[in-house]
Structure 1
Amino acid sequence: MTGVSLGFSLEPLSVPLDSLLPSRKTPEGLFTSRKFKQIRSSIEEIGLIEPLSVTPVIRDSGQHMLLDGHIRLIALRNLSFSDAPCLVATDDEGYTYNTRINRLSTIQEHLMIRRAVERGVSPDRLAKALNMDVSQIVKRMNLLDGICPEAAEMLKDRQFSTEISRMLRKMKPTRQVECVELMVAANTVTTAYAEAMLVATPAELLLEGKKTLKLAGVTQEQLAKMEREMASLQGQYKMVEQTYGQDVLNLVLARGYLLKLLENKAASQYIQKWQADVLAEFESIVRTVALDH
Structure 2
Amino acid sequence: MKRDSSQPPRSVNRGFEDDCVTLPIESILPLRALGKSAKSSRKYRQIVASIAQIGIVEPPVVVRNHDQSATWLLLDGHLRIEALKDAGTQEVECLVSTDDEAFTYNRQVSRLAPIQEHKMIRKAIERGVPEEKIAAALDLNLSSIRRKVRLLDGICEEAVAILKDKPCTAAVFGALRKMKTIRQIEAAELLVNANNFSVAYVSAILAGTPQAQLVDSSKPKKIKGITPEAMARMEQELARLQEGIASIQDTYGQDHLHLTVIKGYVGKLIGNARIVRYLAQNHPEFLGEFQTITEITPVEAASPD
Q: TM-score, normalised by structure 2?
A: 0.89
The 5-angstrom pairing of residues 137-152 of structure 1 reads 137-152=145-160
1:65 corresponds, among 49, 73, 77, to 73
Distance 1:220 1:213, change over 3 A: closer
Tell me which moved more, 211-220 or 75-84. Answer: 211-220
Aligned position for 1:79: 87
Query: Any idea what SS the aligned residue of 2:22 has?
Result: strand
Task: Say yes or no: does 1:50 pair with 2:64.
Answer: no
State the alpha-carbon separation in 2 of the partners of residues 42 and 68 from structure 1.
Answer: 17
State the alpha-carbon separation in 1 of the partners of residues 142 and 158 from structure 2.
Answer: 29
Which amino acid in the other structure matches residue 14 of structure 2? Answer: L
Question: Residue 252 of structure 1: CA displacement?
Answer: 1.2
Aligned position for 2:139: 131
Q: Percent identity?
A: 40
State the alpha-carbon separation in 1 of the partners of residues 290 and 219 from structure 2.
Answer: 52
Query: Any idea what SS the aligned residue of 1:267 has?
Result: helix
Q: CA contact under 8 A between 2:30 and 2:74: conserved in structure 1?
A: yes
State the alpha-carbon separation in 2 of the partners of residues 197 and 87 from structure 1.
Answer: 46
1:171 corresponds, among 172, 176, 179, to 179
Aligned position for 2:32: 24
State the alpha-carbon separation in 1 of the partners of residues 235 and 102 from structure 2.
Answer: 52
Q: How much is the aligned-residue C-alpha RMSD, in angstroms?
A: 2.0
2:254 corresponds, among 246, 266, 282, to 246
Q: CA contact under 8 A between 1:258 and 1:282: conserved in structure 2?
A: yes
Which amino acid in the other structure matches residue 287 of structure 2? Answer: L
Structure 2 unaligned runs (5+)?
Answer: 1-8
Distance 1:67 1:281, change over 3 A: farther
Aligned position for 2:161: 153
Which amino acid in the other structure matches residue 117 of structure 1? Answer: I
Aligned position for 1:88: 96
Question: Residue 291 of structure 1: CA displacement?
Answer: 4.3
Q: TM-score, normalised by structure 1?
A: 0.92
Q: CA contact under 8 A between 1:68 and 1:96: conserved in structure 2?
A: no
State the alpha-carbon separation in 1 of the partners of residues 232 and 296 from structure 2.
Answer: 42
Which amino acid in the other structure matches residue 253 of structure 1? Answer: V
Question: Residue 72 of structure 1: CA displacement?
Answer: 0.8
Question: Residue 13 of structure 1: CA displacement?
Answer: 0.8
Structure 1 unaligned runs (5+)?
Answer: none
Tell me which moved more, 209-218 or 273-282. Answer: 273-282
Tell me which moved more, 261-270 or 52-61. Answer: 52-61
Question: Residue 94 of structure 1: CA displacement?
Answer: 3.7
The count of corresponding residues between Structure 1 and Structure 2 is 293
State the alpha-carbon separation in 1 of the partners of residues 157 and 283 from structure 2.
Answer: 53
Q: CA contact under 8 A between 2:207 and 2:221: conserved in structure 1?
A: yes
Which amino acid in the other structure matches residue 292 of structure 1? Answer: E
Which amino acid in the other structure matches residue 16 of structure 2? Answer: F
